[in-house]
Structure 1
């Protein structure tokens, strides 16, 4: 070969390659760093080449979510409905922790993507096979909400930036206690002992699993009651039709 080194052939551009490159870039630099132009540069193609595989940025984001949701593993064979739902939700949480931008995109979607529909269909199927009626399954999906995808909306987010100096903190605490005593009491109580299973401060994973288990235990009790004479949904009031 006269000392020449053959260049490795470039992998052909495909929708899957485009989507996985976009996911990797968002993982590394965040959604703000993702653009069709930068993605094309990373793939070594002109931007127009991308549009043969994704029509626009919104379609790109849809495809990225499908890649992420496909990483959620199936539950262990033979698991009961509660174990299966818990396993998949906690797996979904691990997946979203690997892709911290994904929850924002999931919340922004107007229409469900194919992968999200398949995932939701399988979760509904797990509940139905576990003895849930269609009506109770409907309520269960609403109750679980975004936890199905491994995240939940907190009451409030922690403010950015570092802590204030002790004097400022004391003044702020005094103002808070004077006007919002119960909020202050709760805020002061979240600094757990180091030996606590939760650890110092609020543990997001613990709080997520705490709420998830409460929901699953409650749904389990409702499943047993549902359909019995006088059961919890036996005489559910219907909403009046406006104008009647």
Structure 2
């Protein structure tokens, strides 16, 4: 039973959140230096940034300039709140800091190559479905030479949600009973997969963005698995298909 398997990219196949967290720590350091004398705490700065960041994603999706914009918006919020005059130089510094997250090297998760090779050799058809700016995501894909596994079956969306996944499944004429979505985000990977009636594997990560966390209440039509390592994916799919082929299942 050959399957169609859609993989997320960031924090599923390659590291992402840890680099955003590093830059966010630098942002919090700067903001604390500037606003702590006016009674702003590091915790309040991070909390407000999280609020602004998530609100922006809901409007703009994963546009490349959303992250640096969230830094500037947070800076302006505290400036207005505490009466501190704004500075174009400081805003420029924050913008450049936010953009620097895209300069980090692309680092694969352990067993990325082996997992994709195993699934390919088993005859499964692999697809890559990622959210973000097309140019930035394509650059990551090229650096990891991922086209050798996914060829032209690569989909990049600024807004990654149930509607986007439905469109991909419809245009590609996927068989829902033989299609899987694998990703770290409960919000943009797992929930859309469940709502589209396909199988889903949640790659649980130690460091997870608040935006990605939610409770899935929709009953799954197919498999809904939680794994922690890519090497677990091929045997998990094999095990599920073995169970699904048993009489009465």
Q: Identify the structure with the greater strand proportion.
A: 2
Identify the structure with bigger relative contact order (alpha carbons < 8 Å, sequence gap 6+). 2
What is the TM-score normalised by the length of structure 2? 0.29
- Which structure has the greater CA radius of gyration? 1
Normalising by the residue count of structure 1, what TM-score does the alignment of the two structures yield? 0.29
